[in-house]
Structure 1
């Protein structure tokens, strides 16, 4: 029986050197006893590590997982990891066997480590210690991770807080970043770190300001911020009062909604629509705008403040078609001036397009919404409403005669083609319409505003800009 003593718990390099030599020498898992330096020596064990007898090849994924799992707080980890790599040396598909007991344990332990790393990244709070004669500030933090992950997390803080000196102390180990050098030392106690500093009141004020009572889900919050971390978070003392007052704050938010009350509300009930005649005598965009203003072909005109027609150059090579006006567009009488319009403006600029060089319009010319107190909540137009309004869109197309149409969203796609189709099925290709006009289908910019996942939102935004860039290149 060989006894292997590991001097530093969670040190992957030390475990790997021993495991590599044991594997190369063909020492089976059952012939090895692994112990930590503080566990006491065996009466009969041989503590010598054999010299390596040759190279051992293992899957990269397994080594990456082992580097994390060695930090799992369980005395049996070194032995279990060695058994897995021993088996993997002969079975290259071992990691794919998810029902295998060893692999099931490995993946669960790896998941626990990655979660613990995420929590440490999120919940470490530095306290200011002071600054040296050069003005470089120093900070310290106390944290209690579930596992021995200091060596896995310290490089993250090194990259993020490169410009200051800091120390993170845990019960197992400490990391010190000083003079642009990262070193490790023994664990410590909470008493080594100040209880508070002058920055914490500012942080608590900020946390209270960004706390959104309308989106409070206590169970989800506790899942992401378990109570075990609260004792070391300065904002934790404010969480209970913020939760208790969430209901009252939601009511105040409703009373002072962001969306302005429609100044022309009385017009909804008093306006008498003029007679509408669909005629081909319309020859200018101004004439078209006046004609759309009297449209009564569908009920949407009843509640909207005004019709909103297209905007831009009649000689535009590119026409962008959205769904319908929103709240701000309905009040101002111009397309794409609300939040989605701001997103579109930024995307156009990044794609190398000047808003003034394109023609912007919508498939439906009146704002469809549901009144909710002082607010007006957007509602999607029906296919019938899109089809009824299509005459006006076709007239705009005839007057502008764009080389290329970019449809923003599914409603716009139906308004242009007269058929319902998914954006996914049409996106990524250039289609040709009757008369030779080209078409590119993409998302509506409001879709980007609704994505809660920042990473996905960034990916979708990049794809949206790529679609607009393709349109510019095609129309050039």
Structure 2
């Protein structure tokens, strides 16, 4: 009997190399017991000894297995079942002589491995859907943390999704298995925390500081981790396509391609529904609803404001209050076809302080802008506008990803990294607040002049079409 001990619960590559070497040495599955480093001693059957030196043969010229088995095994190996590595080795052993084994869905081993892969995928999807970050600290010192209890060993594999989705904010996902952290540049992992340490609202900051301090390296006690999953996160989509084939279409994978791609025509509606349940910051607690962007999917101009106001919060539509009426008038005078423009806000929930029956507008903070920037980015990906008009400082900060002065940058086209053009101007609510009538007229005309730049681009696009 051979006892094979893997480095960690997600050490698939070591399993793959060792399993191939065992099979090449004609060591049957019944003669092998698989374990994981750190596993409780009582869980390992007595009488076993570590396997003698088995050379890890790097060539697979002696035998081969279908490529979709490796894809299936890579996902199924993340299942929490302690016998998963033994099951996968048993399948590998049988596939040497029966290459069509995976097509036999009624086979008990095939059915079990496929069910494991489906269960792992569903857990990954659940993690992507239910994670809600809570803000810790304020402004420049703000971090975000979330608690999650995975059914399987999926945290390392799924963490890159959150790094892409929340790329501009530092976050930590705390779980009993392992904790994932993102500092804006790289993903790191620390040991998990116990169920009894599950943070409540008043303990979240304490938990963050105890388990993840950005200026400290990972502790020596942290398990050894391979970085392969971080660079190969894109493998998930083809694996899930194969899983759907194996299961007869039981699951439908959610694409994980980079956000800058051109999304399908109906993706905007899906984004709107998803944003309705956004809990990325605390503003949802007091707001009536999420106010998402509106406009044609073919719009070549996107107008970005600050946040919904009182009337927008109640109506659920952007720019329907006094600022919206002024915007409509200015667009008409500038020659911009309002019906062909997509209008949205940098922050999708109304931030306010109550004063009796009145709700007074409050400017969003940098962490709140960061938390909501994912929706702006995904709207841009869905609409694919040629020009993005940032109206006000909050909108400019969201569009450019940094604080951008209005006075120094307004009235001219600015190149964005993705090849689009941006135009900075004031927010129409700024014009409403001006006390001097003469100044208000002058500033309104400047606002119209800025929008005429957008009108010129819109007309040029219309002629080209």
TM-score class normalised by the smaller sequence: 0.3 to 0.5
With structure 2 as the length reference, what TM-score do the two structures score? 0.42
Higher RCO, 1 or 2 (CA under 8 Å, sep at least 6)?
A: 2
With structure 1 as the length reference, what TM-score do the two structures score? 0.42
Flag the structure with larger Rg.
1
